Structure 1
C-alpha cells in the first residue's frame, strides 16, 4: 500500500514550483467505456506528446492564446480529438472516454475557470460514492473540509459558526427543505440527495453571489444527471441498499433517472451503550425526467417520496464516568417506547427556454409537503453508584453501592403538517460574451399546522423536582408542609396555524476586464425579500384551544447587496486572488419564529450577517501531477441574532433577536493527485464565534468549534490495483454544550470532549482489468463490480453529542453524563454498475 510520506518533500518544493508564462496545461485520466483507466494512450499536439501511465493519467503543455487540437490515440481503440483555446497558465482537466465502436469528437473553448473565479468548491460525485459514508450522503465529504463541521451521525452540518438551519441546499436549482421535528441524528435516516443520481456538486462556504437565496452560512448546489443511454446500479450493505435505473429514448428527446433507497440504522444504535429494541424503516424514491420539446425548450421534473419511521424502545443503559480515584456509574432501566414518523412529498417542474445563445429563461415551480409525528412515553428509573475497581474481584466493573436514585418521565405528542409552494422565474443575458446579467423573481407560500404537547417530570429520592423557571414558596419540608404547585419540570403546550408569504428577487451582473496583462472578474448584485406572517396561535398550560383573537399579521422587508472580485496576475505562478463581501439576511422560517415554549413571535426580525472573505487559489505541479492550495480568511459580523439552544440536532430558538455576534477564522485545503489517478486532500480550519446577549458580554456560541482537521485520502495497492483504499479522518475541538436546555448560557460554559473519527473502506474491484478480458467474458457486462469492507470509527473513539443530566436530592448535586455516539462498526458493501 502506498503511503503518504511524499507529503514532506511537497512542503520543501512548494515555493519553487513554477509554470511557463505562455503555455497552458491539459491534464486528466483517459478511460474506456467501462470506466477503466487506459495505459499507453498517446496524447499529441503540434509535435509535443505525452503517454498515459498505468492509471490512465496524463499531462501535457499546449500553446496559449490559440486554438489547438489534442489527439488521443491507442493501438487497440478508436481515436479521440478535442479542441482547446486556453489563456496563459490555465490548467484544464479533461477526462476523455475512448470507446471501442465510435470516435469521440468535440470542442471545448475555455477562456476562464468559472468555478475557480467564484470560489466554489467542486466535488467529484465518484468520490462520494466510493468513500465510507455513515450518514449516507454529501455530508460525509463536507466533514473533511476545513469550513464545514458535523459532530452528529445524521445529515446536519454547520459552516463557519452557523447552525444547521443556515445552509442553502439546491437540487437542479430547486431549494430543498429538511424535516422540522427531527431531534436526533439517528432519525435522519436518509438525506434528500441521492448520491447515485448526482452529476455535479458545488459548495460555497460564504461570500456567495446574489443569485443564491437568503441564508447566512453556505450554499450546496447539486445537479442530477441527464442520461444518454441505459444504465443501472445496485448497492447493498448491512446498513441498507440502493438501486437506480436510467435511460433515454432513441431520438434523445426523453431521458429519465430513478433511484430507490432503503436505510436501516439498527447497526448504529446497537453499537451504543443503551440496549434497545429498534425497528427503523427509512425509504425513499426519487425520479428526474427530462423532455426536449425542441432545441429551444426543455422541460424537467424532479420528484421525491420519502417515508421515515423511527420506532425506538430503550431497555437498559450503563455509563461509567468520574475519575480513576472516584469512578461513578449511571444505571438506567427504561419503560416505554418512542414512535416517530416523517412523510415527505416533493415535486418540481422546470422549463428552460433559450431563444438564442445570448438569452435564457427558466420557470420553476415546486411543492413540498411534510407530515411529521413525534410520540413517546419513556420512564427512566436511574441510580448513581460506586464502581468496583479492584482487579480480580468477582464484581469488577459492577456497581457495588448506590448513592442516589431517581426517575424521569418524558412525554410528547407533537404533530406537524407543512405545505410549501414556490414559483420562480429567472433570466440570463450575455452581451458580446463580456458582460452577463442574471435576474430572478420568486414567490413562496408556507402553510404550517403545528401542535406541541410535551413535558418532563423528575423525581429524586421521593421528591418531585420543581421547574427552574418559576418562583416557589419557601420549602422546608418535612418541618412544614409544601403548599406550592405540583407542576412538571418542563412543560410546553401550544397549537399554531401559521401562513407565511414571501416575495424575493435578485439582480446581478458579472464581467471580465483586462488590466494590462492581468485579468479581473467582477460580480455585483442585490437581493431583496419581503415576507408576511399571518396565522392563529394558542398557547395554554392546561388545555389547547383555538383562539382567533390571537390572529397575527406582520410584514418586513430586507435588501442585501453583494459583490465578488477576482484577480489573476500574469505571473509565472498560477495564482488567483478573490475578495467577497455583502449583506446576508436570513428572514425567519417557522422554526425561528417559535420560541422554546412553543409561542410564535411574528415580530422576529431577519438575522443579518456581513461577510468579508479574502482567499488565494494556487495551482501548481508536483511529481508531474496537478495540485491546488486554497486558503481563505473570513470575518462575519452578525446583528439581530436569534439565539438558540442545541440538543443533538434539534434547535430551539428564543425568537427575540436579543444578541449580536461575530465569527472569524482561517481555512486552507491542499488537494491533488498524491497517488496517481486519484484525488485526495488535507484541510485545516480555525474558527472563533461568540455572541453578546442583551449586553451581558461575549460568550461562546453553540457552534464555537475552534480547530478542525480533515483528511480524505485515496490509495491502491501497486501490485494489486484491484484493491482500493478510501480514508476520511476528522478531528474537531469540543463544542460548547452539554448543559441543560433551560440553563443560562452565562452560567454554564462547559464544552464537550473533542470529536475524533476515522472511517476507512477497502474495496476489491473485479472489473479493474476489463479492457484486457476477451469479448463475452461475464465481467464485461459490468462497468463496475466491487466488494467492499468498511470500518466506521476505526479507533473506537468515544464522541459525546449531549449530556444526560441526573439529579441527586440528597447531596443536591447534578451530574452531566455524556451521551456517546457510535462505537466501532463493521460494514460489508456490494456495488454493481451496468
Structure 2
C-alpha cells in the first residue's frame, strides 16, 4: 500500500480506485410454503443463472457494485423477485426465499454495502466485517464502538455506552434468547471474552434508541444476534498470539439436524503486559458454545443454545513507574506491589426454543432459558508508592528515572466477594402476517435468585498518618480536641444479601405498510408492561408495575432521490436488576423504582451513487428525558449505584454515518456523534453524567492493493472526548468534576488471502483442501497513544497537594493471526 494513500485516508477518504468486472456470490436454500427444501428452482439474473439442487441449495455468481434483479421461478409456484440488489466485490450474501402460491416481489428494499435498508431504525452489520476488522477485543462489540452514538474508552472491555447510558442499559439477544454478563468484574482486564462468538454469527442487528416494544425493558439499546443454521459441513480455525478458536458446522444427510459449535481460548497477556505495571499475569479465559436445530417436521423446529464459560483471573502485580506532569515540571509515581488477585467467573447458559409454523402466516414460539453464574473475587494487594521528580537530563545515565523521592505511602486493598446468581426465563412469542400487516405478541416470566456476599476494604497510610474517610464523624480538630476516632478502612463494604425477584412482562405490537399518494408509509405501534416483586432475607417484599407505549413511523417518498425518513419514540422503563437495588454500602433498597426515559428519534437515510458506487448517509437527531434516575459512579468498568431514584436527567445529540464502497468491493464508513447528557440530583442543579462523552469520531476503512487484490488492509480509528471520572473517592461532583483525557486509538490489520470463495485450486495442489485460508498481522494502538481510564490519587508530603496520576492502558502491540476453513 502506498504511503500517500494512507495519509490521504487519515485526512478524509478522498482517494478511491475503480476496478471493473468484479463479482459477488448469492447463495442460500430455496424453501416452499411448508419450509421444505425445493429442488430444481431456476435462479436467474440477466443472462446468467443456475438451479437449486436436491437439498434446495444454490450458489450464483452475480455482478458486484451495481443494481441487479434476481428471479426465483419453479413450475407450480409463483416467482420471487429480488430487486435492486447491490453486493460488494467478493461478498457472499445469503438469501433463503420461500416460494408459495402467492406472487412475491421483494421491492423497496435495497441491499447495499450498508446492509438491509430498514424502516425500523435497526442497523445491520456484515458478519464478515465483524470477523475481519482488527481490535484488542475483536468481534461484534469492537464494530459497535465504531458506530455513532456508541462509545467505549477501554479497549480491553467489550462493554459499551449508548447515547449517554451505561453498561447496564443495553439488551443483548442471541436467537431471541437474552444473555447476561458476570456481575463482579471491576476492571476490563478481568473480563475475558464477550458472550457472542463472532465465528458463529449470521446476522447482526443493532438499535441505539427508539426500538420497538418487542425488544424488552432497557433504556439505551438492543443488540440482536442471530447464529448460523449451517447448510453444509465445515471446520474453521482462528489462531493468534491472543488465543485460538475452533468452529464446527455440521448438517445431517436428511437436513433435519444442523449444529454449529465453537470453542474459544483467550490470553490477554500480550495486551496487559504492554501496560506500565509489571505483573505475573496468568489468566484462563475459555468457553464452549453450541447452537443446534432439529427439524422434527415441516411445522415444528427445536433450537438449543448452550454455553459454558470459565474465567480464571490470576494476577500478581510487581511494580510500576508512571511519568506525568509537564515538560518543565515532570513528576513520577513509583509503586511496588505485594500480594495477588485471584478471581473466578464461571457461567452456564442453557436454552430451548420451539418454533411451530401453524401455517404460512402464523408462527408460534416457546423459549425457556436457565443462566447460572458463580463468581469469586479474592485479592490481597499492598501497594507502596513514592512520588518524585523525573530526571530529564538527556546526558544522564538515569534519564527517565525517578529522583528526589517523597510522598511515601502505603495502600492495602482486600476483597473476599462471592456471588451466586440463578436466572430462569420462560416466554412465548408469536406473529401473524396478512399481506403487509404483522401482529406480534409475547409474554414472559423471569425468576432471579441472587446470593451475594461483599467483604472488601481499602486502607491508606499516607505521608506518615493513617487516612480515614473524609466524613463528618472523622473530623480531626487536633490539637484543640483529642482525636480518638477508631482506625477504619478508607473505603469498605461488608454485606450479605439474599434477593429474589419475580417478573411478569408482555407486549403486543402491530405493523403495517401503506401506499399513500405514491409514497410508501410504514408504521409500528406497540405497548409493553412489566410487573415485578422483590423479596429476600431481611428485606420487605415490594411490587411495582410499569407500562411502556412505543411507536415508529417511516416515510419513503416517491422521489427521484432515494430517501427514507423515520420518526420513533415512546416511553421506556428499566426495572431495577439486582445491582441497581444495592447501594454503595452493599445494602439492598427494595423500593428502588424503574428508571424512566422518554425517547424521541428523528432519522434519515439517503442512498446515492458516488464514483459509480453506492453510498448511504444516515443521520439521526435524538432527545431523551429521564426520570427516577438511579445515579451511579463508574471506576474502570465497575458501576456502583446510589439506589435512591433521586435524580432527573436528559440526553440529546446527533449521529451521522456515511458508508459505502470508498474502494470498489469493500465497505467502509465514517461516523460522527455529538452528545450532551446531564443529571440533577436532589434539585442541586444539572451536572455532567459519567457517560457525558461530548464528541465521537470513528472510521472503519478497508482496502487492498490493486496489483495484488488478495492483500487486504483493515483500519479502524476512534477519537472520543474525555468523560467525567477523574475525581478522587468521596468527591462531590457538584464541587469537583474533572474529566479524563481524550481517547485516541488506531488499529491496523493486514492479511493475505490464499484461498476464498473466488480463488480455489486444483485437486493436486496442497491448498485444494482449504475453503478459506488467510494469514496476516495486526498492530493495536498504531500511533502508541497514551489513553487512561482512571486516575490514581497521591499526596505530596511537602505541599500536601494531591496529584492525579493517570492509569495508562495498553500501548502499541503486534499480533499475528492465521485463519482457515476446511
- TM-score, structure 2 normalization: 0.90
Of 577, 586, 589, the match for 2:565? 577
C-alpha deviation, 1:154, in angstroms: 1.1
Distance 1:352 1:683 in 2: 38
Offset of residue 482 of structure 1 = 3.0
2:280 corresponding residue in structure 1: 277
Deviation track 1:723-744 (CA, whole Å, cap 9, x = no partner) reads 1000011001111112124221
- Residue 393 (structure 2) aligns with: 390
C-alpha distance 676-92 of structure 1, shift in aligned 2 (>3 A): closer
| Change beyond 3 A, Cα 1:622–1:378 | same
Residues 777, 745 of structure 1: alpha-carbon distance in 2 compared, 3 angstrom cutoff:
same
The structural deviation recorded for 1:279 is 0.3
Tell whether 2:117 aligns with 1:110.
Answer: no
The CA distance in 1 between the partners of 2:221 and 2:665, in whole Å, is 30
- Quote how far apart the aligned CAs of 1:246 are: 1.0
Q: Which residue of 2 aligns with 1:459?
A: 461
1:237 matches 2:240: yes
User: Is 1:333 the counterpart of 2:321 in the alignment?
Assistant: no
Q: For each residue in 1:416-460, what CA deviation from the matched residue of structure 2 results, as whole angstroms up to 9, or x when unmatched?
A: 0000000000110112x1211100000000000000001111001
Q: Which residue of 2 aligns with 1:512?
A: 513
Q: Which residue of structure 2 aligns with residue 373 of structure 1?
A: 376
Q: Distance in 2 between matches of 1:156 and 1:398?
A: 36
Equivalents in 2 of 1:55, 1:827: separation in Å?
A: 36
Displacement, 1:9? 11
> Aligned equivalents of 2:62 and 2:744: distance in 1?
33
Unpaired runs of at least 5, structure 2: 29-42, 50-60, 110-115
d(CA) in 2 for partners of 1:120, 1:686: 20
Give the CA deviation at 1:111: 3.7
Distance 1:128 1:55, change over 3 A: farther
- What is the aligned partner in structure 1 of residue 66 from structure 2? 59
Task: State the 1:773 CA deviation.
Answer: 3.4
Alignment of 1:531 with 2:538, yes or no, is no
For the residues of structure 1 that align with 2:414 and 2:571, how far apart are their CA atoms?
42
- Cα drift, residue 106 of structure 1: 8.3
RMSD: 2.8
Decide whether the 8 Å contact of 1:28 with 1:93 is kept in 2.
no
Query: Which of 342, 347, 350 is residue 350 of structure 2 equivalent to?
Result: 347
User: Which of 151, 174, 181 is matched with 2:184 structurally?
Assistant: 181
Cα distance, 1:98 vs structure 2: 10
CA contact (8 A) 1:625 1:676 kept: yes
Q: Note if contact 1:360-1:428 (Cα within 8 Å) is conserved in structure 2.
A: yes
* 1:664 and 2:652 are equivalent in the alignment: yes
Match of 1:191 in 2: 194
User: Hey, what does 2:698 align to over in structure 1?
Assistant: 710
> What secondary structure, in the 3-state scheme, does the structure 2 residue paired with 1:781 have?
coil
1:441 corresponds to: 443
1:136–1:191 contact (8 Å) kept in structure 2: no
Cα distance in 1, alignment partners of residues 98 and 424 from structure 2: 41
Structure 2 contact 65–614 (Cα < 8 Å) conserved? no
Aligned residue among 730, 734, 752 for 2:718: 730
Counterpart of 1:539? none
Question: In the TM superposition, what whole-angstrom CA distance separates every residue of 1:93-119 from its partner, at most 9, and x where no partner exists?
Answer: 5999999xxxx9987731443751111
Note if 1:813 corresponds to 2:815.
no
CA distance in 1 between counterparts of 2:772 and 2:321 reads 45
CA distance in 1, matches of 2:191, 2:23: 36
Which of 154, 162, 166 is equivalent to 1:163?
166
Q: Does 1:289 align with 2:292?
A: yes
Please name the residue that 1:30 is paired with.
24
Does structure 1 conserve the Cα–Cα contact (< 8 Å) formed by 2:26 and 2:62? no
Provide the residue aligned with 1:23 in structure 2: none
Query: Is residue 748 from structure 1 mapped to residue 744 from structure 2 by the alignment?
Result: no
Q: Displacement, 1:572?
A: 0.3
Query: Would you say the 8 A contact 1:56–1:677 is kept in 2?
Result: no
**Counterpart of 1:471 in 2: which secondary structure?**
helix
Equivalent position SS for 2:105? coil
Determine which of 265, 268, 272 is the counterpart of 1:265. Answer: 268
Query: What's the offset of the Cα at 1:475?
Result: 3.5
Give, in angstroms, the shift of residue 775 of structure 1. Answer: 3.4
**Distance change in 2, residues 1:637/1:480 (3 Å):** closer
CA drift at 1:623: 2.2
> What is the CA-CA distance between 1:28 and the residue it aligns to?
9.3
**Please, which moves more after superposition, 411-420 or 672-681?**
672-681
Q: Kindly state the Cα deviation for residue 407 of structure 1 after the two structures are TM-superposed.
A: 0.5
Q: Is the 1:284–1:306 Cα contact (8 Å) retained in structure 2?
A: yes
| Offset at residue 221 of structure 1 (A) | 0.2
2:589 is equivalent to residue 601 of structure 1:
yes
Q: 1:570 to 1:28 in 2, by over 3 A?
A: farther
Structure 1: runs of 5+ lacking an equivalent: 14-26, 35-40, 48-53, 63-67, 72-81, 537-549
C-alpha displacement of 1:781 = 1.5
Q: Which of structure 1's runs of 4+ aligned residues deviate more than 4 A?
A: 4-13, 90-99, 104-108, 768-772
Asked if 1:638 is matched to 2:645, the reply is no
2:67–2:85 CA contact under 8 A, matched in 1: no
Per-residue CA distance 1:163-214 (angstroms, 9 max, x = gap): 0000000001001111000111111111100011000000000000000010
Instruction: Please give the alpha-carbon distance, in whole angstroms, between the structure 2 residues aligned to 1:737 and 1:276.
Output: 25
Partner of 1:647 in structure 2?
635
1:28, 1:59 within 8 Å by CA — same for their partners in 2? no
Distance 1:86 1:398, change over 3 A: closer
Deviations 1:389-418 (A, max 9, x none): 222122222222112111000110000000
Q: Look up the SS of the partner of 1:766 in the other structure.
A: strand
**Distance in 2 (alpha carbons) for counterparts of 1:643 and 1:720:** 54
Q: Is the 8 A contact 1:306 1:344 kept in 2?
A: yes
| Residue 628 of structure 1: how far off its partner (Å) | 0.8
- The answer to whether 1:781 aligns with 2:772 is no
Which of 543, 548, 553 is 2:541 aligned to?
553
| Corresponding residue to 1:764 among 752, 764, 777 | 752
Q: Does 1:320 align with 2:323?
A: yes
| Match in the other structure for 1:795 | 783
> Aligned partners of 1:229, 1:497: CA distance in 2, in Å?
48
Judging changes above 3 Å, is the alpha-carbon distance between structure 1 residues 618 and 32 closer, same or farther for their aligned structure 2 residues? closer
- For 1:499-538, what per-residue CA distance to the aligned partner results, in whole angstroms no more than 9, with x for missing partners? 00000000000001111100110100000001100011xx
Which of 603, 607, 615 is the aligned partner of 1:615?
A: 603
Gap change, CA 1:395 and 1:125, over 3 Å in 2: same
Q: Supply the distance in 2 between the matched residues of 1:464 and 1:140 (Cα, whole angstroms).
A: 43
- Quote the offset at 1:133 in angstroms: 2.4
Decide whether aligned partners of structure 1 residues 591 and 29 sit closer, same or farther in structure 2, where only a CA change above 3 A counts. farther
3-state SS of 1:392 partner:
coil
1:569-597, Cα deviation, whole Å (9 max, x unpaired): 00000100000010110000000000111
State the alpha-carbon separation in 2 of the partners of residues 419 and 390 from structure 1.
59
In 2, Cα distance between equivalents of 1:98 and 1:415: 47
Show the counterpart of 1:690.
678
Counterparts in 2 of 1:730 and 1:171: CA distance versus 1, 3 Å:
same
Contact 1:420 1:444 in 2 (8 A): yes
Would you say how many aligned residue pairs link Structure 1 and Structure 2? 774
The answer to whether the 8 Å contact 2:786/2:809 transfers is yes
Hey, what's the Cα distance between the residues in 2 that align with 1:517 and 1:11? 37
Q: Quote the offset at 1:46 in angstroms.
A: 12
In 2, the alpha carbon distance for the partners of 1:329 and 1:340 equals 30
The 2-side partners of 1:429 and 1:70 are apart by 25
Does the residue aligned with 2:189 lie in a helix, a strand or coil? Answer: helix
Q: 1:472 to 1:69 in 2, by over 3 A?
A: closer
Is 1:461–1:810's contact at 8 Å kept on the other side of the alignment? Answer: no
CA contact (8 A) 2:64 2:89 kept: no
- The answer to whether the Cα contact below 8 Å between 1:645 and 1:741 also exists between their aligned partners in 2 is no
Counterparts of 1:640 and 1:662 in 2: how far apart (Å)?
12
TM-score under structure 1 normalisation?
0.89
Does the 8 Å CA contact 2:710/2:754 hold for their aligned counterparts? Answer: yes
Separation of aligned partners in 1, 2:591 and 2:329: 51
Q: Secondary structure at the match of 2:767?
A: helix
CA shift digits 1:757-802 (9 cap, x unpaired): 0000000111159646333322121111111100000000000000
